[in-house]
Homo-oligomer: A and B are copies of this chain.
Amino acid sequence: MKATTEYLWFNTSKKREFINITSDVKKVVRASGIAEGMVLVSAMHITAGVYINDAESGLIRDIEEWLQKLAPEGPNYNHHRTGEDNGDAHLKNLLIGHQVVVPVTEGELDLGPWQQIYYAEFDGRRRKRLIIKVMGE
């Protein structure tokens, strides 16, 4: 069995941003030399998500508006008594998920034709990190 670990860093200019990281994950998988296995892609923060969906700008706006509706920004979070103001970002993380596991087959990401891997920043403008871990042989 082999394992390879890489970290990606982000420092977004906006509070919320959706970044397509599919090609980054592909590069790590190819460099690993692993032909059959799985790759874990996981945000290392509790106010950022990782998900798989379409690389279509209208849909990405829909996803942001939907997350705002179901986990709205606002003052009324108990968490804010600590001095934080990002309660909504924690709930957005829980709603969309913070990790995906992608199959690796014949040395490539085994994704469907429209599946793209996204890093979803919900509380940006500072350095944040993501782990990519490939495991297999």
Residues of chain A having any CB pair with chain B under 8 Å:
1, 3, 5, 36-38, 40, 42-46, 51-54, 56-59, 61-63, 65-66, 70-71, 77-82, 87, 90-91, 93-103, 105, 110-112, 114-115, 129, 131, 133, 135-137
- List, sorted by A's number, 18 A–B pairs whose CB atoms are closer than 8 Å: A5-B105, A36-B135, A38-B133, A40-B101, A42-B101, A42-B102, A43-B112, A44-B112, A46-B54, A51-B94, A52-B98, A58-B77, A62-B91, A97-B97, A105-B133, A110-B131, A112-B129, A135-B135
Interface pairs A-B: 8 shortest CB-CB:
A44-B112, A58-B78, A3-B36, A59-B79, A103-B133, A1-B1, A58-B79, A61-B78
CB pair B95 A95 closer than 8 Å: yes
8 other A-B residue contacts (CB within 8 Å) besides A1-B136, A57-B78: A40-B101, A53-B94, A58-B80, A61-B78, A63-B91, A66-B91, A94-B97, A99-B101
